[in-house]
Amino acid sequence: MKVLVAVKRVVDYNVKVRVKADNSGVDLANVKMSMNPFCEIAVEEAVRLKEKGVASEIVVVTIGPATAQEQLRTALALGADRAILVESNDELNSLAVAKLLKAVVDKEQPQLVIMGKQAIDSDNNQTGQMLGALTGFGQGTFASKVEVAGDKVNVTREIDGGLQTVALNLPAIVTTDLRLNEPRYASLPNIMKAKKKPLETLTPDALGVSTASTVKTLKVEAPAARSAGIKVKSVAELVEKLKNEAKVI
Amino acid sequence: MTILVIAEHTNAALAAATLNTVAAAQKIGGDIHVLVAGANAGAAAEAAAKIAGVAKVLVADNAAYANQLPENVAPLVAELGKGYSHILAAATSNGKNILPRVAAVLDVDQISEIIAVESADTFKRPIYAGNAIATVQSSAAIKVITVRSTGFDAAAAEGGSATVEAVSGPADAGKSAFVGEELAKSDRPELTAAKIVVSGGRGMGNGDNFKHLYALADKLGAAVGASRAAVDAGFVPNDMQVGQTGKIVAPQLYIAVGISGAIQHLAGMKDSKVIVAINKDEEAPIFQVADYGLVADLFEAVPELEKLV
């Protein structure tokens, strides 16, 4: 079966971002960008399904600026077969992204769509679920285990109190949680080979999708800074401070 | 303006997060209706009717809604939600699972995990693992929003007397089925609602050593959490994880033991009132956010702390 994996180019998770002085956003100039960690897990899961003989083709898609090709090449080096870039320089909300992905799903007709549960920049946790509504597919969000069995996929999900397993009819959407797998690294020969794999570029217009949004960001601020703490010398002093100064125990 | 709050519940009982969501709805202003979608959810509906400030409780009782499968619940919420100005749910794993599906059906953007209400259409929410706070404004006819529980004080669970009305909605969509669940059992307070949280990280060394934290937590009436490192190492189950990708907590007192303080962990706890860090590495980033830091071996400090509190 064909698997579609959606990935996003985001600021690297190790970077401590800074808010711009004019409060228009965070400063992303000259900051290291990477594939969103949850998307890496999605790519890895698709590759493992292919290695097991369950998936026959892996198509990786991203929506973003031309530079997002780097993340597509990374996914190709990890084992995806071909890539689609929907090029847009606008900052898109999840609903617009879900609509663009819906158009790609219509075009590619995958049996399974795998994507991360959330992007670490916007922290929205919406796109997979929205794509579920738009396509009418079942959704297995926050997946920590995925098993394809015949025309169904069993997804074990991380929920607040523990784990839940659901069975979804294919085609379906799975969003990955951290413990689904440990993503591999791309080897140098595979990085070289990935340069020759096909990469198709589309635009929202060509897909006939409007990316207008009903939500706009008015300003972005740094969170309130915590006042500097103190170091205590002993456990006794710590207990004394907690009891008498902070009064929390 | 009428606001629909989606109740978080287990059919038999209402989850505490619903009270925080109602509190957020009160800040927006307007009549508040609560939807309890489930199967045999009479007890949860009764509890919802007692919440102060709730005008009406809608009960959709159908076997298809028993396990909150989004394929079944989202069409119901979207259908009912058409008459409302706002649809709110707690940013729990259920709320996050269902609400974006509702928003897409209604063809509106969703605003995730708000921590403050500025006005009926303007909200604050953290982005970049809590390293920036965005103020966002929605022009959508129906504003679909998830609420971060720690951002709002809980509404009073008693004192209300809402009318209860049965509603019906679409039947089983036939796209998904509940297979089973495995819930972690704990006698300690729930992590997200606890006044005191004691968390362990990689420095705990192994799962057995968490007994030191359990002993301290029991003395303090605290919940026990963990960093991702401790979960990935298999010390404790993953529903104990505090952080950007785990639970978000804001207790009165957070005690971080053997936790270095990575950005992703801080995202889950830096709104705690008082933070205590116990770590033997005095350069650990956790000390930058800790109100009280103790540079010490946790295996000596934690038992001593347990004796003294």
| Distance, CA of A90 to CA of A245 (rounded, Å) | 50
Residue A114's pLDDT is what? 98
Which amino acid is residue A63, in one-letter code?
A: I
User: Does residue B160 sit in helix, strand or coil?
Assistant: coil
Q: What is the CA radius of gyration of chain B?
A: 21
- Within 8 A by CB and 6+ apart from B53, the residues are B22, B25, B26, B32, B155, B156, B160
B-chain residues near A123 (CB < 8 A):
112-113, 126-129, 244
- Which residues on A lie below 8 Å from B135 (Cβ)? 217-221
Asked whether the beta carbons of residue B179 and residue A165 sit closer than 8 angstroms, the reply is: yes
Helix axes B93-106, A127-135, angle to 10 degrees: 50
Q: How many interface pairs between A and B have CB atoms less than 8 angstroms apart?
A: 252
Would the pLDDT of B184 be above 90? no
Mean pLDDT of all residues in chain B? Answer: 96
Nearest-CA neighbor of A8 among A48, A63, A51? A63
- Asked if the peptide bond before residue A171 counts as cis, ω within 30 degrees of 0, the response is yes
The answer, yes or no, to whether residue B185 has pLDDT greater than 90, is no
**pLDDT of the residue at A226:** 87
How much is the average pLDDT of A223-230? 89
Give the integer Cα–Cα distance in Å for B138 and B127: 17
Alpha-carbon gap: B109 to the closest alpha carbon of chain A (Å): 6
Q: Which residues 114-173 of B have a C-beta within 8 angstroms of A?
A: 122, 126-140
Check B133 against A220: CB less than 8 A apart.
Answer: yes
- The pLDDT of B221-231, averaged and rounded, is 96
Phi, psi angles (nearest 5°) of residue B5: -105, 125
Partner-chain contact B71 A249, CB within 8 Å: no
* Cross-chain CB nearest to B140 (options A162, A214, A219): A214
- Using N-to-C axis directions, what is the helix angle for B210-220 and B298-308, rounded to 10°? 20
CB contact under 8 A, B273 and A248: yes
**Å between B30 CA and nearest CA of chain A:** 21
User: Which DSSP symbol is given to A223?
Assistant: P
Tens of pLDDT, residue by residue over A102-129, are 999 999 999 999 999 999 999 999 999 9
Which candidate in B292, B295, B299, B309 is best for mutational testing of the A interface (most A CBs within 10 A)? B292
Helix, strand or coil, per DSSP, at residue B299:
helix
Structure ipTM: 0.94
- Give which of A117, A182, A235, A245 to mutate to test B binding, by max B Cβ within 10 Å: A235
Kindly list the strands in the beta sheet with B122-127, ordered across the sheet, starting from the edge strand earlier in the chain: A215-221, B132-138, B122-127, B116-119
**CB of A229 within 8 A of CB of B291?**
yes
- Mean pLDDT (chain A) is 96
Q: How far apart are CA A20 and CA B131, in angstroms?
A: 12
A128 contacts in B (CB within 8 Å)? Answer: 100
The closest alpha carbon to A115, from A44, A169, A34, belongs to A44
For the segment A190-205, the average pLDDT, to the nearest whole number, is 97
Q: Give the type of residue at B241.
A: Q
Q: Test B289 with A241 for CB contact under 8 angstroms.
A: no
Which among B102, B293, B308 has the least Cβ separation from residue A236?
A: B308
**Partner A contacted by B100 (CB < 8 A):** yes
Is residue A193 a contact partner of residue A71, using CB atoms and an 8 Å limit?
Answer: no
Q: What does the pLDDT read at residue A248?
A: 87
Indicate yes or no: CB of B94 within 8 angstroms of CB of A26. Answer: no
Torsion of the alpha carbons at A155, A158, A163 and A168, rounded to the nearest 10: -20
Q: pLDDT per residue over B4-59, tens digit each? A: 999 999 989 999 999 999 999 999 999 999 999 999 999 999 999 999 999 999 99
Dist CA B164 CA B58 (whole Å): 6
Is B76:B65 a contact under the CB 8 Å cutoff?
yes
Q: Which of these, B302, B264, B293, B286, lies nearest to B128 by C-alpha position? A: B264
* Average confidence (pLDDT) over A134-140: 98
Q: What is the DSSP string of B21-55?
A: HHHHHHHH-SEEEEEEEESS-HHHHHHHHTSTT--
Helical (H) or strand (E) element with B57:
strand B56-61
Confidence of residue B290 (pLDDT cuts 50, 70, 90): very high
Contacts of A136 in chain B (CB under 8 A): 175
Put simply, the answer to whether B100 touches A235 (Cβ < 8 Å) is: no
Question: How many other C-beta atoms are found inside a 10 Å radius of the C-beta of residue B254?
Answer: 30
Q: Full-prediction pTM beyond 0.90?
A: yes
Question: Which residues of chain A does B181 touch, with a Cβ-Cβ cutoff of 8 Å?
Answer: 159, 162-165
**B282 pLDDT above the threshold of 90:** yes
At residue A26, what is the residue type?
V
Sign of the Cα torsion B274, B280, B282, B283 reads negative
Say if residues B74 and B101 touch (Cβ distance below 8 Å): yes
Among A124, A133, A215, beta carbon nearest to B101: A133
